[in-house]
Amino acid sequence: MTTQKTYVNGLPFLKMHGLGNDFVIIDARSAESPVTESMARAIGQRHFGVGYDQLVVLTKTDGADVDMVFWNSDGSLSDACGNATRCIARLVMGETGVDAITLRSGNGLLAAKMTDDGMISVNMGQPQLTWDTVPLARDVDLIELPIEGAPGAAGMGNPHCVFVVDDADAVDLVGRGSEIETHELFPQRTNVEFIHIIDRQTIRQRTFERGAGVTLACGSGACAVAVVAHRKGLTDRAVTIQLDGGELQIDWRDDGVWMTGPTTLVFEGRLSAEFLESVQ
């Protein structure tokens, strides 16, 4: 059966963002997921497709309200995406009329709730803080990696390498980020964050995401930044992260790293049968 016949009326999707970190969302809770690596890459092209930082496929699951599968725009998969998780939490809360749910990702079960001011807060779980769980290629000091600039590392369901610099806005984000993404110390590649400390409760962050490139915000990255900055002795456990697309509130508590911020539904769309046929 061809894609064109299967989706003669096209394939519905949503476009959402959290602080400019943007997502295409496909609901496969009532059918098998149609997304392939080639389709994910095609949809991710901003001129020939829709464009996104991550694609999220929703499926049914036992023991949680929804299961999430994350695709990067280069066609690779990821176990975690914080801002997308907040967007999906908002959708499911809107469907069910509740203000607290549980979501499943490759990083396990994640609790989410709506705050009194309409923000979405997600517990991204405890960070991975051993070399083999980040993961790294060998056992090294995670607070100061043996890389020029002595970055710190933490896993949040995906690997993160965090550089503390004098001015994050002055960093060659594409050049330096792409170089570190594929550093030999990170066997699964890594997200790369450059930060500078404003005060013990405030951090400026810019991100080069594994498989996506420069993004306006990165939720799992903000969680990793808060963890690394605190472990370096630079900040408190609860901080405001200033990203290019806005602010996230991060609080590393006993039960995990909580991330709170806004979400936006941009539009509803439909991928045409013509487009779907062309990407097979």
- Structure-block tokens of residue 78: 């990821």
As a whole number of angstroms, the distance between CA 66 and CA 102 comes to 7
Tell me the β-bridge partners of 248: 241
Q: Which residues 6+ apart lie within 8 Å of 95 measured at CB? A: none
156 secondary structure, DSSP code: S
Label residues 155-170 b or e (16+ Cβ within 10 Å = b).
bbbbbbbbbbbeebee
As a whole number of angstroms, the distance between CA 184 and CA 207 comes to 19
Give yes or no: 81 in active site: yes
> What's 48-90 look like in SS3?
CCCCCCEEEEEECCCCCCEEEEEEECCCCEECCCHHHHHHHHH
Identify whether 34 is preceded by a cis peptide bond (ω within 30 of 0): no
Give yes or no: 218 in active site: yes
CA-angle at 108, arms to 106 and 112, nearest 5°: 110
Tokens 């013509």 label which residue?
A: 274
Choose, from 81, 87, 161, 223, the residue flagged as catalytic: 81
Choose, from 87, 161, 218, 223, the residue flagged as catalytic: 218
Q: Cβ(159)–Cβ(153) under 8 Å?
A: yes
* Pairing mode, strands 191-199 and 159-164: parallel
* Active site residue ranges: 81, 218
